[in-house]
Amino acid sequence: MLAAQGDAVDAINPIQALSEAERIDRLRLIRSDNVGPRTFRALLDRFGTARAALERLPDLARRGGAARTGRICSADEAKAELAASRKLGVSWLAPGEDGYPPRLGTIDDAPPLLAVRGAITTAMRPMIAIVGSRNASGAGLKFAGQLARELGEAGFVVISGLARGIDQSAHRASVASGTVAVLAGGHDCIYPPEHEDLLAAILDQQGVAISEMPLGHEPRARDFPRRNRLISGASLGVVVVEAAHRSGSLITARMAAEQGREVFAVPGSPLDPRTAGTNALIKQGATMVTEAEDVLAALRPIIGPAVAALRQGASGFAMEDDEDGPPDVASADARARIVALLGPVPVPVDD
Amino acid sequence: MLAAQGDAVDAINPIQALSEAERIDRLRLIRSDNVGPRTFRALLDRFGTARAALERLPDLARRGGAARTGRICSADEAKAELAASRKLGVSWLAPGEDGYPPRLGTIDDAPPLLAVRGAITTAMRPMIAIVGSRNASGAGLKFAGQLARELGEAGFVVISGLARGIDQSAHRASVASGTVAVLAGGHDCIYPPEHEDLLAAILDQQGVAISEMPLGHEPRARDFPRRNRLISGASLGVVVVEAAHRSGSLITARMAAEQGREVFAVPGSPLDPRTAGTNALIKQGATMVTEAEDVLAALRPIIGPAVAALRQGASGFAMEDDEDGPPDVASADARARIVALLGPVPVPVDD
Share of residues in chain B with pLDDT > 70 (%): 81
Q: What is the pLDDT of residue A64?
A: 75
pLDDT of residue B134 exceeding 70, the answer is yes
Among the partner residues A139, A267, A276, nearest to B279 by beta-carbon distance = A267
pLDDT tens readout for residues B220-259: 999 999 999 999 999 999 999 999 998 999 999 999 999 9
Is A175 in contact with A200 (CB distance < 8 Å)? no
pLDDT tens readout for residues B35-81: 999 999 999 999 999 999 999 998 887 887 766 668 999 999 999 99
| A270 contact residues in B (CB cutoff 8 A) | 143, 266-267, 289-291
| B286 contact residues in A (CB cutoff 8 A) | none
User: Is A139 close to B271, i.e. CB distance below 8 A?
Assistant: yes
User: Is A282 close to B267, i.e. CB distance below 8 A?
Assistant: yes
Amino acid type, B118? G
Q: Band the pLDDT of B341: cuts 50, 70, 90.
A: very low
Q: What is the pLDDT of residue A1?
A: 30
What is the arithmetic mean of pLDDT over B325-344?
A: 46
N-to-C CA span, chain B: 25
Helix axes B248-258, B276-283, angle to 10 degrees: 20
Cα atoms found within 13 Å of the Cα of residue B188, Cβ hemisphere only: 12
Looking at chain B, how many residues does it have? 351
pLDDT tens readout for residues B119-129: 999 999 999 99
DSSP characters for B279-290?
HHHHHTTPEE-S
Element spanning A116, H or E: strand A114-118
Among the partner residues A266, A271, A294, nearest to B142 by beta-carbon distance = A271
Q: What share of chain B is helix, strand, coil (3-state, %, to 5)?
A: 50, 10, 40
pLDDT tens readout for residues B298-327: 998 888 755 544 444 443 333 333 333 333
The phi, psi pair for B234, rounded to 5°, reads: -80, -15
Maximum CA extent, chain B: 71
What is the arithmetic mean of pLDDT over A96-117?
A: 97
Q: What is the pLDDT of residue B226?
A: 96
pLDDT tens readout for residues A40-57: 999 999 999 999 999 999
pLDDT tens readout for residues A114-170: 999 999 999 999 999 999 999 999 999 999 999 999 999 999 999 999 999 999 999
pLDDT tens readout for residues B7-39: 443 444 456 789 999 999 999 999 999 999 999
Q: How far apart are CA A127 and CA A37, in angstroms?
A: 22
Q: In 3D, which of A131, A197, A121 has the Cα closest to residue A158?
A: A131
pLDDT of residue A19 exceeding 80, the answer is yes
Q: Band the pLDDT of A305: cuts 50, 70, 90.
A: low
User: Is B267 close to A276, i.e. CB distance below 8 A?
Assistant: no
* Closest residue of chain A to B290, computed from CA coordinates: A270
- Asked whether this complex has an ipTM greater than 0.90, the answer is no
Q: Where are the alpha helices (DSSP H) in chain A?
A: 2-12, 20-31, 37-47, 50-63, 75-87, 120-123, 138-153, 166-173, 196-204, 223-234, 248-258, 276-283, 292-303, 306-311, 332-342
User: Is A272 close to B139, i.e. CB distance below 8 A?
Assistant: yes
Q: Which site among A142, A271, A282 would you substitute to test the B interface, given the most B Cβ atoms closer than 10 Å to its Cβ?
A: A271
Among the partner residues B142, B270, B288, nearest to A290 by beta-carbon distance = B270
- Under an 8 Å CB criterion, which residues of B touch A? 137, 139-140, 142-143, 266-272, 275-276, 279, 282-283, 288-291, 294
Q: What is the pLDDT of residue A13?
A: 46
Q: What is the pLDDT of residue A328?
A: 42
The phi, psi pair for A116, rounded to 5°, reads: -115, 130
Helix axes B166-173, B138-153, angle to 10 degrees: 30
Q: In 3D, which of B159, B158, B163, B137 has the Cα closest to residue B224?
A: B163
Q: How far apart are CA B237 and CA B253, in angstroms?
A: 9
pLDDT of residue A74 exceeding 50, the answer is yes
Q: What is the pLDDT of residue A66?
A: 67
Using alpha carbons, list the distances in angstroms from residue B185 to A235, B49, B197: 56, 28, 17
CA dihedral in degrees (B257, B258, B261, B264; nearest 10)? Answer: -10
| B290 contact residues in A (CB cutoff 8 A) | 270, 276, 279, 283
pLDDT tens readout for residues A190-222: 999 999 999 999 999 999 999 999 999 999 999
Q: What is the pLDDT of residue B58?
A: 87
To the nearest whole Å, the CA of B114 is away from the closest chain A CA by 36
pLDDT of residue B283 exceeding 50, the answer is yes
Cβ neighbours, 10 Å, residue A5: 12
Among the partner residues A139, A288, A294, nearest to B269 by beta-carbon distance = A139
pLDDT tens readout for residues A218-276: 999 999 999 999 999 999 999 999 999 989 999 999 999 999 999 999 999 999 999 99
* Closest residue of chain B to A292, computed from CA coordinates: B270
Average pLDDT value over all residues in chain B: 86
Q: Which site among A269, A272, A320 would you substitute to test the B interface, given the most B Cβ atoms closer than 10 Å to its Cβ?
A: A269
DSSP characters for B237-293?
EEEE----TT-HHHHHHHHHHHTT-EEEE----TT-GGGHHHHHHHHTTPEE-SSHH
* Closest residue of chain A to B269, computed from CA coordinates: A268
Is A183 in contact with A213 (CB distance < 8 Å)? yes
pLDDT of residue A26 exceeding 60, the answer is yes
Q: DSSP label at A158?
A: E
Q: What is the pLDDT of residue B80?
A: 97
Show Cβ contacts of residue B14 under 8 Å, excluding neighbours closer than 6 positions: B96, B97, B98
Is B100 in contact with B114 (CB distance < 8 Å)? yes
Among the partner residues B140, B267, B289, nearest to A268 by beta-carbon distance = B267
User: Is A267 close to B270, i.e. CB distance below 8 A?
Assistant: yes
- pLDDT: which is higher, A342 or B163: B163
What is the arithmetic mean of pLDDT over B157-177?
A: 98
To the nearest whole Å, the CA of A34 is away from the closest chain B CA by 39
Amino acid type, B170? A
Is A103 in contact with A235 (CB distance < 8 Å)? yes
Is A202 in contact with A144 (CB distance < 8 Å)? no
User: Is A139 close to B272, i.e. CB distance below 8 A?
Assistant: yes
Q: What is the pLDDT of residue B335?
A: 52
- pLDDT: which is higher, A16 or B189: B189
The phi, psi pair for B159, rounded to 5°, reads: -115, 140
Q: Check the CA dihedral A147-A150-A154-A156 and report its sign.
A: positive
Average pLDDT value over all residues in chain A: 86
| A169 contact residues in B (CB cutoff 8 A) | none
To the nearest whole Å, the CA of B272 is away from the closest chain A CA by 9
Q: Which letter, b or e, does each residue of B226-262 get, where b requires 16 or more Cβ atoms within 10 Å of its Cβ?
A: bbbbbbbbbbbbbbbbbbbeebbbbbbbbbbbebebb
Show Cβ contacts of residue B213 under 8 Å, excluding neighbours closer than 6 positions: B115, B183, B184, B185, B186, B189, B219, B223
Q: How far apart are CA A180 and CA A161, in angstroms?
A: 8
Q: Is A208 helix (H, G, I), strand (E, B) or coil?
A: strand
